[in-house]
């Protein structure tokens, strides 16, 4: 494979993972936590970036060395574990994709005034079109890159207009007034939880980029993916901080929309629509692609029909949203389960890194293993805490 082609695919994989993370939940969480913690939210972002890097480097590297997808690695670690992991990923992917489709519909509603349901259907058709073309992988990469650049540039514009106290943000990033552990867990889960962390790794396998010889490029790709998502997080944080620091109240019904509107008026509101649509549509594509990548290896007929499975995944999510709406309880329940997927998946990868039948004579870096274990323990503890405290409230 030519170096130029490989670099293009690595960039595409990085954007696929990053834009999969940047969805409606990403926009809302960042704004809400900024409203709650003000400049101290910078510390939360810093810690979450460090944890994201540890999870992403471990998972991408082990997938590349083993030359196998996560579910196949899990089945080799413990028979049947790969099926369980796939089930969790697919259920979570469908539930969150309903939210992504809803966000895409809202984005078109803001931009053009159409009903959110109509916007959702149009967005679903656009997402499907990406997988209908002959070279779907390349189309997906290019679409994610363009949408990612648009989101970041427009949000930078709003951040500049909102005039945030950058100096205070820098200081509080390293010396916070308040530390909120749950917000850290939420950000980590939203950036590398569930299907998201596997989006880029599985994409590289599909493109034939694998093996120890490409580990330096794999590492750069993983760091780039976290970097892209983090840039968007930081810029959105600064945009929201500029509004919060002025004492302006955010609309609790739609916090990110009010940030854009308060910063730049009606133009800002339209910009929010564009950002929301771009964030949502790329998450629809990333969720569908990655979720299907977890089941396609279980049978040759699934492997041959992967694009049709992806299309069916998008159609199903769109139909559920249009007919039922956004199932809040299911989303919250699956969100809690999603908090447990990262420690399970990362834990499996760390075990696999020391199984010769999976990675051969490859020696996984000790510092990465220790880093990964810390993340597994921390996320498992907080995931269980969320399940115990949040899930029972759904059924009261």
Confidence grade of residue 118 (pLDDT, cut at 50, 70, 90): very high
Q: What is the pLDDT of residue 108?
A: 94
Q: What is the pLDDT of residue 45?
A: 92
Nearest to 284 by CA among 326, 333, 317: 317
Q: What is the pLDDT of residue 214?
A: 87
Q: Which domains does the chain have, with CATH numbers?
A: 3-394 (1.20.1740.10)
More confident residue, 370 or 331: 370
Confidence grade of residue 386 (pLDDT, cut at 50, 70, 90): low
Nearest to 336 by CA among 396, 382, 386: 386
What is the per-residue pLDDT across 320-364, written as a single tens digit (0 to 9) for each?
Answer: 888 877 655 555 555 556 667 888 889 999 999 999 999 999 999
What is the per-residue pLDDT across 45-70, written as a single tens digit (0 to 9) for each?
Answer: 998 899 889 999 999 999 999 999 99
Read off the pLDDT of each residue in 68-87 and give the average, rounded to a whole number: 92
The CA angle 192-29-69, to the nearest 5 degrees, is 15
Confidence grade of residue 124 (pLDDT, cut at 50, 70, 90): very high
Nearest to 274 by CA among 94, 117, 119, 96: 119
Share above pLDDT 70 across residues of the chain, in percent, rounded to a whole number: 93
What is the per-residue pLDDT across 210-238, written as a single tens digit (0 to 9) for each?
Answer: 888 889 888 988 899 899 989 999 999 99
Residue with tokens 């569930």: 194
The model carries a pTM of 0.88
Give whichever of 111-125, 130-144, 174-188, 297-311 has the largest mean pLDDT.
Answer: 111-125
Q: What is the pLDDT of residue 37?
A: 93
What is the per-residue pLDDT across 14-33, written as a single tens digit (0 to 9) for each?
Answer: 888 888 888 888 888 889 88
Q: What is the DSSP string of 232-293?
A: HHHHHHHHHHHHHHTTPPP-TTSHHHHHHHHHHHHHHHHHHHHHHHHHHHHHHHHHHHHHHH
Q: Over the chain, what is the mean pLDDT?
A: 87
Q: What is the DSSP string of 293-356?
A: HTTGGG-HHHHHTHHHHHHHHHHHHHHHHHHH---HHHHHHHHHHHHHHHHHHHHHHHHHTT-H
């Amino acid at each position: 494979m030519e170096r130029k082609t490989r670099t293009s695919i690595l960039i595409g994989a990085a954007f696929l993972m990053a834009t999969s993370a940047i969805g409606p939940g990403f926009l809302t969480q960042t704004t809400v936590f900024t409203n709650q913690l003000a400049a101290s939210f910078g510390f939360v972002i810093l810690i979450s970036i460090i944890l994201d890097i540890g999870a992403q480097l471990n998972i991408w590297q082990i997938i590349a060395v083993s030359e196998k997808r996560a579910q196949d690695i899990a089945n080799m670690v413990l028979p049947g574990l790969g099926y369980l992991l796939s089930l969790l990923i697919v259920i979570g992917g469908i539930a969150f994709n309903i939210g992504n489709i809803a966000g895409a519909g809202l984005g078109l509603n803001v931009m053009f005034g159409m009903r959110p349901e109509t916007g959702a259907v149009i967005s679903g058709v656009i997402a499907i079109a990406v997988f209908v073309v002959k070279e779907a992988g390349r189309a997906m990469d290019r679409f994610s890159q363009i949408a990612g650049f648009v989101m970041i540039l427009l949000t930078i514009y709003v951040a500049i207009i909102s005039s945030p106290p950058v100096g205070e943000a820098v200081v509080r990033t390293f010396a916070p007034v308040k530390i909120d552990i749950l917000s850290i867990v939420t950000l980590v889960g939203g950036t590398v939880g569930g299907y998201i962390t596997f989006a880029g790794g599985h994409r590289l396998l599909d493109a034939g980029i694998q093996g120890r010889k490409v580990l330096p490029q794999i590492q750069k790709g993983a760091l780039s993916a976290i970097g892209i998502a983090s840039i968007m997080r930081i810029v959105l944080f600064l945009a929201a901080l500029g509004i919060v620091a002025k004492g302006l109240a955010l609309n609790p019904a739609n916090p990110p929309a009010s940030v854009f509107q308060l910063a730049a008026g009606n133009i800002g509101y339209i910009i929010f629509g564009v950002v929301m649509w771009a964030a949502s549509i790329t998450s629809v594509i990333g969720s569908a692609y990655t979720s299907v990548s977890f089941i396609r290896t279980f049978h040759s007929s699934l492997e041959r029909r992967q694009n049709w499975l992806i299309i069916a995944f998008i159609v199903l999510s769109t139909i559920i949203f249009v007919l039922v709406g956004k199932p809040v309880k299911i989303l919250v329940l699956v969100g809690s389960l999603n908090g447990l997927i990262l420690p399970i998946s990362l834990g499996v990868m760390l075990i696999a890194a020391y199984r010769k039948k999976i990675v051969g004579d490859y020696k996984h870096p000790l510092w990465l293993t220790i880093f990964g274990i810390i993340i597994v323990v921390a996320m498992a503890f907080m995931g269980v805490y969320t399940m115990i405290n949040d899930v029972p409230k759904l059924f009261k």
